[in-house]
Chains A and B, each alone.
Chain A
Amino acid sequence: MYPSRFSYDAPNSVEEVIAILDQSGGEAKVMAGGQSLIPMLKLRFASPARVVDINGIPELEYHRIDPDGTLRIGALCRHEDLEFSTILGNFPTLAQASSLVADPIVRTRGTFVGSLCHADPQGDWSATMIALGGKIVAQGPKGRREIEVRDFVLGPFVNALAFNEVAVEAIVPPAKGKALGGYLKLERRVGDFATASVAVALDVDGDTVTRAGCALAGVGGRTIDANDAISVLVGKSFNSESIKQAAEAVAAAAEPRTDHRGSSSYKRHIVETFVTRILSNIANSEQKAA
C-alpha cells in the first residue's frame, strides 16, 4: 500500500531523461502512466532508487498516421486516446483491443508504450503489436534505434531497453493491402488478467491473405509469437478449411499453464476457438461487404 522511498525527477525533454538514466547506473525507472509501475511500488515488488517521470514532455502526447500509412504512437499516448480515436480504421486489431485494456479509469492514465515496456505476459498490447509486426523506438545517448516488439519482450517483465534508453514511440507498419483483424480476450470481469487472449492482424488483397500475424497473451510465461503458426493462411482465402488449419496451428503454438483460471488444455482450446471466431467474423464481414 505504501511505496518505499525514491528520488524523483520530472524533466521536460527526452534528452534530460536520457541523461538522468545514463547517470543512474540502472537504478532508475521511467514512469509514464504509472498504472503498472505504481501498483508494483505500492506492493514493493519494485523499489527503484529513482523514478524519472516523463509526463512533463507534451511532445510525446500523440498518435498519428504518416502519409505512407504508418501509425506512430508517442510515449504519452494514453490507452483511452486509442479507445476513442477516430483514425484507427486501418488498424482494426488495435482498435478492438483498446477498450479491453484494464478498466476505463486506468485507461485515462496508462500509456500504450508504457504497457509494452512493462512486458506483462498477459498484456494486451504486446500481443497486438507482435501480431502487427510493430516496433518500439528507443532513444539513448547514442541516438535512436528501432526494435521489433517480438524482440523487445525478452521475458516476463523484462524488455530489451538498455539502462540508459527510454522508449519514445511505437510504430505500426501500414498494411500493404486491406487491413483486417480482431482481438478477443477471455476475462472473467472487466480489469481481470486474461485467461487467454488472441490478436490477429491480416493484410488481404482481394480475397487472398497476403500477410498474417498472430500473438497470444495469458497462455505462456511470455507473450506468444504465433506469426509463424498463422502464416498457413498466407496465399489462401477464407474458408472453413483454411480457418480450421490456422486455428489449430496457432493453438499448437500456445504454451499455456494450468492454474486457477483453468487447465492448459482449456486455455489452448480457447485460443483455437478465438482464432476461429476472429477469422470467421472477418470472413462473414468480407462476404457481406462484397
Chain B
Amino acid sequence: MAPLDELKIGGMGASRRRVEDNRFIRGKGRYVDDIVLPGMLHMEILRSPVAHARIKSIDTSAAWEVPGVRLVMTGETMAARNLAWMPTLSYDTQAVLATDKVRFQGQEVAAVIADNPYIARDALDKIVVEYEQLPVIVNPIQAQSPDAPLIRDDKENQTSNKIFDWEIGDKEATDRAFAEADVVSKIDLHYPRSHPSPIETCGSIADYDRATGKLTVYMTSQAPHIVRAAVAMVAELPEHMIRIIAPDLGGGFGNKVPIYPGYVISILASILTERPVKWVEDKSSNLISTGFGRDVYLEGELALRKDGKILGMRMHTISDHGAFFADAQPTKFKIGLMHSTFACYDIPTAHLLSEGYYTNKGSGGVAYRCSFRVTEAMFFQERMMHAAANDLGMDQAEFRRLNLVRDDMFPYRTAFGFLTDSGQYGKCLDVGMEAIGYSTFKQEQEEARKRGKLLGIGISTMTEPLGAGNSREYDILGIKMFDSAELRVHMTGKAILRTGAKSQGQGHETTWAQIVAHELGIPADDIVVEEGDTDTAPFGMGTYASRSTPVAGAAVAMASRKIRAKARKIAAHLLEISEEDIEWELGRFYVRGNQERGVTIQDCALAAYSNMPDGLEPGLENTSYYDPPNLTWPFAAYFCKVEVDAETGVWDVLNFVAVDDCGVRINPMIVEGQVMGGLTEAYAMANMQYITFDEEGNCIGANYMDYLLPTSWETPGFELHEVVTPCPHHPIGAKGVGECATVAGPAAFVNAVMNAIEHTGVRNVDMPLMPNRVYEALQTGRNVSGMPPVLSD
C-alpha cells in the first residue's frame, strides 16, 4: 500500500491554494460594512478640529431636528452611564466622548445615530461646539519642557506629561564597557509616526437585544476575546451575554487590536435606541485617531573594540504616545519588546533607558506589524550597526558576521535576558551576499560614481521575538497570552477546527488545516476552519505580533496529536491488538510487522461514533490551550541596492534580496506573500509614508493624499530566498513570519541610501527619505531630522 503523499493532501510544505480566496474573488467576502441587520441605524462621529482645547459648550439641538436622526450623544450622555472614559490596554484611561477638553485633533466629541449615514453626516454639521484653544504639544521635547501645558489634567497625581520611565540591563557593566572601548559609535535618529492603514477601516455593528439581554457586536477586531472581556468590564454586562464576532477583516496590521471609542459609543447607542447601530469610520478618522505605530526617538551608542567586536550597547529612547497611553502590548513592558534589540549579536552587556510622553496627538504606538516595538528595536539596531561599521572603517557584512551569534551558541542568552532558540545567521548572510552580488559591488559603486551616478547597498540583519508569550512573563491586563485550538472529527472523517486566533489575510483557513493534515493525514480539503466568533471559538488572545503560527498553530498541532492518541486506542480496538503493537504512518495505523493490515484515521473516526472500545468516551475531538515555553526567533538578512539621483534626491531600488529563516514553512506560497507584503510596507516607510504635525497640532497625513501608500508602479520587485532552521521547542518547528519583513526591511532601504550618499559625511536622514530630504543631505552634508512640527511659509 503506498503511503499518502503529504503534499498531495495539503500537508506541511504544500503551497496549497487558499480556501479564503473562493469567496473573496467572487466578491462574497463578509466584512463588517457588508452586514445588514433588520432595523439597523447608522452612526457618524463628530471630531475635534483642534488639537488642544477646553470645551466650553456643545449645542446639539439643531442636530436633533434633522429628519431621520434618532439619537445624538455627547460626553454627557456617556458620563451619565460612567462611560465617558474607558480603560486602555496599558492601564491608562482614554476618553470615549470628550467632556472637559479635547486633547488631539480628531478626538471624538459627539455622535449622531440616524437612518442612513448621509443624514447622520448632515446632522454633524448642525452641532455647534465652542472651543477655547490651549497651547499644543507635538513632540516629546516640547512635552518635557517645564512650561508645557499639562495634557492629562484629568488624571489625579499626573503633574507632567511624562508617562513612564523604564529601564533594563546592566548600567554599571555597560558604562565600564564604554570606558574601555577603542571606538564609541553614536547615532541619534527618529522613527517617525506611521499608521497601519489597512484598506478597510475600523467599524462595528452593535446589537443589544433587550428581550434576551444579549449584546452581539460585529467588530473589526483582531482579538475578539480580549474585546469581550473588556466590554464586560467597561459596560458592566455579564461576559456570557456578550458575543463579539469578527467577520472577514480587510487587513489589520495591528490597527484592529485596540478598543476604540466608536465601538463603545455604538454599543451604548444600541442599548439606548433598542436597534442595531452600525459605525464604519472613514479613512481620515482612521488615520487621525486610531492606533498608530512608532514615533520613537533614539540616542544609540555602541562600544567597540578596534577589531570590530562590540563590547557594549546603550540605548536611550523617548517615545511619543499621543494623548492617552493605549499601547497594545504585554502590559509589564512599557516600551514593548524594545529590549529584544541586538538579540542576533553576541554582546556581553547592554543598557536600555526608555521614557514615554503624552502629546496632543491620537494615541497608540504599538501597531503596524511591529511585534511590540520590535520594528523600532531592529531599525535602531541596524542603523547603529551601519554607523559603527563606517566609524570602524569595516565592511558592513564582515562587521555583522564578526558579531552575529554563531550556530553553536544556541540556545543563546542575550544581554537583556532573552533566550533565542536556533538559527544559521552566517548562512543567511552568505545566501544574501551571493544573490545581490555583494563582492563586486564596491567596484561597481566606484565606477558609477566616476560617471556621476550614486549607487548604494544596504544590509539589515535581525532576529526577532515572536509568539508572545510564556505565561510567566507575558500578559495583557493580567490575561495570559496562550492560545487555543478546538478540533472535532466527524464520523465520516471530515473535521471542523476553531482557534482563538483571527486572520486578517494571513490565510489561517488554509494553513491550520495543513497542520492537521500533517498530524492526522486527513486531507486539508476535508477540514473547515473557523475563527472570530467568541460564542464558538475557544479563548485566544488573537492575531498580531506574528504570534499565531507560534502559539495558535502549536495548539492546532497539540490538539491533533491528542486526537491521534485517542484514535490509536480505537485502532487497537479495531485491529484487536495491543496499542503497543500499533505503528503510525500518515493517515493510518497499522500492525507492526504487517503493514498491509491497518485502519485509516477515517475508520477510527467512524468507530468513535459506532464502535467504541469499553471505557473510552465516544466522539473524536479535543481542545488544546498552548502556553508557549519560549518565544520563537526567526532571522532575516536583507540586502538592498539603490541608485540616487543627485540632482533631485529621488532614489530607485535596483535590486532587493530577502533571505528569511522562519523555521519550518507550513505553506511556502503564503510565507512569501507575507514577506512581500511586509517589504512593501518597509519600502513605504523608508520612501514616502509618515504622519507629521504642524505647530498648531494639525495632522498632516490624515488622508491618502498626504499619507502615501506606494502603488504598484513605485513598489520594487523583491527576490526571496529561504533558509530553514526549525524551532527546537515548537511542535512543528515553525517560528512565524508575518512581521519579519516590516521589522527588518526599513533599515535595508535606509542603509542603502545612506551608503550612496556616504561621501557627504551625512550620518542620518530620518525616514521617510523623501527626495527633498536626500537632496538637503547631499547639499549640506548635515543630518536631516524629521521631528515635528513641520514648518511652512
Contacts and interface: CB of A to CB of B under 8 A. Distances in A.
Nearest to A260: B790
B772 A266 contact: yes
Interface in A2-40: 2-5
A3 B119 CA distance: 10
B648 A193 contact: no
Interface string B457-487: 0000000000000000000000000000000
Interface stretch (B289-297, B708-716, B741-749): B708-716
B792 A259 contact: yes
B776 A263 contact: yes
Given A193-B705, A266-B772, A2 B121 contact: yes
Contacts of B709: 189
Interface in B619-655: 647-648, 650
B708 A192 contact: yes
B680 to A, nearest CB: 12
Interface in B683-739: 687-688, 692, 700, 705-706, 708-711, 713-714
A179 B705 CA distance: 35
Interface string A230-274: 000000000000000000000000000111111110100110010
Nearest to A273: B647
Contacts of B776: 263, 266
A158 interface: no
Given A195-B771, A266-B775, A273-B648, A190 B793 contact: no
B282 A188 contact: no
Interface in B250-305: 282
B771 A188 contact: yes
A260 B700 contact: yes
A279 to B, nearest CB: 14
A264 B772 CA distance: 10
Given A189-B688, A190-B714, A191-B711, A1 B792 contact: no
Contacts of B791: 258
A259 B648 CA distance: 17
B708 A270 contact: no
B770 A188 contact: yes
A260 B648 contact: no
Interface of B, secondary structure class, is loop
A270 B687 CA distance: 18
Nearest to A263: B772
A188 B708 contact: yes
A145 interface: no
A266 B692 CA distance: 20
B450 to A, nearest CB: 21
A269 B775 CA distance: 10
Contact of B713 (A1, A190, A193): A190
A262 B771 contact: yes
A279 B266 CA distance: 60
Contacts, number: 66
B525 interface: no
Contact of A259 (B125, B711, B793): B793
- The binding surface of chain A is classed by DSSP as loop
Nearest to A3: B118
Given A4-B122, A260-B790, A190 B711 contact: yes
A190 B705 CA distance: 11
Contacts of A270: 648
Interface string B769-793: 0111001100000000000001111
Given A193-B705, A273-B647, A273-B648, A188 B688 contact: yes
Given A2-B118, A260-B692, A263-B776, A189 B793 contact: no
A258 B710 CA distance: 24
A264 B771 contact: no
B708 A189 contact: yes
A189 B710 contact: yes
A266 B770 CA distance: 12
Interface in B542-583: none
Contacts of A257: 792-793
B117 interface: yes
Given A4-B125, A44-B125, A269-B775, A262 B708 contact: no
Contacts of A1: 117, 121, 282
Contacts of A3: 118
A54 to B, nearest CB: 25
A186 interface: yes
B772 A189 contact: no
A103 interface: yes
Contacts of A260: 692, 700, 706, 790, 792
Contacts of B792: 257-260
A269 B774 CA distance: 13
A103 B711 contact: yes
Nearest to B706: A260
Nearest to A1: B282
A189 B705 contact: no
A186 B117 contact: no
A257 B792 CA distance: 7
Q: Which of A3, A188, A273 has the most CB of B within 10 A?
A: A188
Nearest to A39: B705
A71 B567 CA distance: 81
Nearest to A257: B793
Interface in A174-224: 186, 188-193, 195
Nearest to A44: B125
A273 B706 CA distance: 25
A270 B118 CA distance: 43
A259 B790 contact: yes
Contacts of B708: 188-189, 192
Contacts of A264: 793
A188 B282 CA distance: 24
A261 B775 CA distance: 12
B705 A192 contact: yes
Contacts of B282: 1
Contacts of B117: 1-2
23 contacts: A1-B117, A1-B282, A103-B711, A186-B771, A188-B770, A189-B688, A189-B708, A189-B713, A190-B714, A191-B711, A192-B705, A192-B708, A193-B705, A258-B791, A258-B792, A259-B793, A260-B692, A260-B700, A262-B770, A262-B775, A266-B772, A266-B776, A273-B647
Interface of A: 1-5, 44, 103, 186, 188-193, 195, 257-264, 266, 269-270, 273
Shortest 7 CB-CB contacts between residues of A and residues of B: A262-B772, A257-B793, A259-B792, A2-B121, A2-B118, A1-B282, A260-B790
Given A1-B282, A4-B122, A269-B775, 12 more contacts: A2-B118, A2-B122, A5-B122, A188-B708, A190-B711, A195-B772, A257-B792, A260-B692, A260-B706, A260-B790, A261-B772, A266-B772
